[in-house]
Amino acid sequence: MILAGVDGDRAWRLQDYLARGGYSALKKIISEKIPPEAIIAELKTAVLRGRGGAGFPTGLKWSFMPRSFPGDKYLACNSDEGEPGTFKDRDILRYNPHSVIEGMTIAAYAMGCARGYNYIHGEIFEIYQRFEEALEEARAANLLGADILGSGFSFDLFAHHGYGAYICGEETALLESIEGKKGQPRFKPPFPASYGLYGKPTTINNTETFASVPFIINMGGEAFLNLGKPNNGGMKLFSVSGHVNRPGNYEIPLGTPFSELLEMAGGMRGGRKLKAVIPGGSSSPVLPADVMMSCTMDYDSISKAGSMLGSGAVIVMDETTCMVKALERLSYFYFEESCGQCTPCREGTGWLYRVVHRIENGLGRADDLDLLNSVTGNIMGRTICALGDAASMPVQSFIKHFGGEFQYHIENKKCLVSPEVQYEGSQIYVSPSC
Amino acid sequence: MLSQESLQQIDREVAKYPADQKQSAVMAALRIAQVEKGWLPQELIAFIADYLEMPAIAAYEVASFYNMYDLEPVGKHKITVCTNLPCALSGGVHAADYVKQKLGIDFNETTADGKFTLKEGECMGACGDAPVLLVNNHHMCSWMTKEKIDQLLADLESK
**What's the pLDDT score for residue A65?**
94
A300 beta partners: none
Q: Is A49 on the interface with B (CB under 8 A)?
A: no
Residue type, A313: A
Decide if B69 and A164 are in contact by the 8 Å CB cutoff: yes
Chain A residues close to B123, C-beta within 8 Å: 82-86, 166, 282, 333
Q: Please check whether residue A136 touches B, CB under 8 A.
A: no
Chain A nearest C-alpha distance from B113 (Å): 26
Q: What is the mean pLDDT of residues B36-63?
A: 98
> What is the per-residue pLDDT for A231?
87
CA distance B129 to chain A (A): 8
> For position A359, what pLDDT does the model report?
98
Positions in chain A whose pLDDT score sits under 50: none
Are A320 and A426 in contact by the 8 Å Cβ rule? The answer is yes
- Pair (B83, B61) in one structural domain: no
A230: part of which helix (H) or strand (E)? none
Residues of chain A with CATH 3.40.50.11540: 14-227
The pLDDT, as a whole number, for residue B87 is 97
CB pair distance less than 8 Å for B27 and A240:
no
Does the domain made of A235-318 have the CATH classification 3.10.20.600? yes
Cα–Cα distance for residue pair A138/A49, rounded to 1 Å: 27
Asked if B146 is an interface residue toward chain A (Cβ–Cβ < 8 A), one would say: yes
Quick check: A99 and A139 in contact, CB under 8 A?
A: no
Q: Is residue B72 in a domain?
A: no
Cβ within 8 Å, pair B31-A282: no
Q: Which residues of B touch A164 (CB under 8 A)?
A: 66-69, 122
User: Considering only residues 103 to 122 of chain B, which have any Cβ-Cβ distance to chain A shorter than 8 Å?
Assistant: 121-122
- Predicted pLDDT at B150: 98
The verdict on B116 and B87 lying in the same domain is yes
Q: State what percent of residues in chain B have pLDDT above 90.
A: 99
Pick from B27, B93, B143: which is nearest to A426 by CB? B93
Rounded alpha-carbon distances, angstroms, from residue A284 to A390, A394, B93 = 7, 6, 23
**A364 contacts chain B (CB < 8 A):** no
Contact call for residues A86 and A123 (beta carbons, < 8 A):
no
pLDDT given for residue A44 in this prediction: 96
Residues B106, B137: one domain?
A: yes
Domain boundary among B43, B65, B87: B65
Length of chain A: 434
Residue B70 in any domain: the answer is no
Least confident of A63-77, A166-180, B10-24, B41-55: A63-77
Best residue in A423, A430, A431 for a mutation probing chain B (most B CBs within 10 Å): A430
B136 within a domain of the structure (yes/no): yes
Q: Note whether B63 contacts A: Cβ–Cβ < 8 A.
A: no
Decide if pLDDT at B144 tops 90: yes
| Residues of chain B positioned with their CB less than 8 A from the CB of A178 | 24
The pLDDT assigned to A327 comes to: 98
Shortest CA distance to A332 belongs to which of B93, B21, B51, B115? Answer: B93
**Which residues form the domain of B53?**
4-65
CB burial string A224-243: b at 16+ within 10 A, e below: bbebbbeebbbbbbbbbbbb
B122 to A160: CB separation less than 8 angstroms, yes or no: no
Specify whether B95 is located in the same domain as B146.
yes
Residues facing A239 on adjacent strands: A249, A313
**Contact predicate B102/B62, CB 8 Å:** no
Sheet architecture: strand order including A313-318? A248-253, A235-242, A313-318, A274-278, A287-288
Tell me the CA distances in angstroms from A393 to A54, A59, A83, A171, A338, one per residue in order.
15, 29, 14, 20, 15
Cβ distance B52 to A241 less than 8 Å, yes or no, reads: no
Tally of CB atoms within 10 A around A193 = 20
Chain A residues closer than 8 Å to B129 by CB = 87, 434
- Residue type, position A339, single letter: C
Same domain, B83 and B154: yes
Q: What is the pLDDT of residue A419?
A: 95
Asked if B54 and B100 sit in the same domain, the reply is no
Whether residue B135 has pLDDT greater than 80: yes
* A323-419 classified as CATH 3.30.200.20: no
Number of separate domains in chain B: 2
Same domain? For B122 and B61 the reply is: no
Q: A283: helix, coil or strand? A: coil
Of residues A164, A162, A189, A163, the one with CA closest to residue A175: A162
Test A163 with B86 for CB contact under 8 angstroms: no
Which CATH number characterizes residue B37's domain?
Answer: 1.10.10.1590
- A71 interfacial to chain B (CB closer than 8 Å): no
Please answer yes or no on whether A182 and B62 come within 8 Å at the CB atom: yes
Establish if B10 belongs to a structural domain: yes
Domain assignment present for B19: yes
Q: What are phi and psi of A34, to 5 degrees?
A: -65, 125
B71 domain residue, yes or no? no
Q: In sequence order, which residues have a C-beta less than 8 Å from that of residue B155 and are 6 or more positions away?
A: none
Partner-chain contact B88 A180, CB within 8 Å: no
pTM: 0.97
Which band of pLDDT confidence, cut at 50, 70 and 90, is reported for residue B108? very high
Q: What is the per-residue pLDDT for A232?
A: 86
Contacts of B21 in chain A (CB under 8 A): 179-180, 198
- Given B13, B38, B65, the domain boundary residue is B65
Residue B85 and residue B154 in one domain: yes
Does the distance separating the beta carbons of A317 and B65 come in below 8 Å? no
Q: What is the pLDDT of residue A8?
A: 79
Q: CATH homologous superfamily of domain A14-227?
A: NADH-ubiquinone oxidoreductase 51kDa subunit (3.40.50.11540)
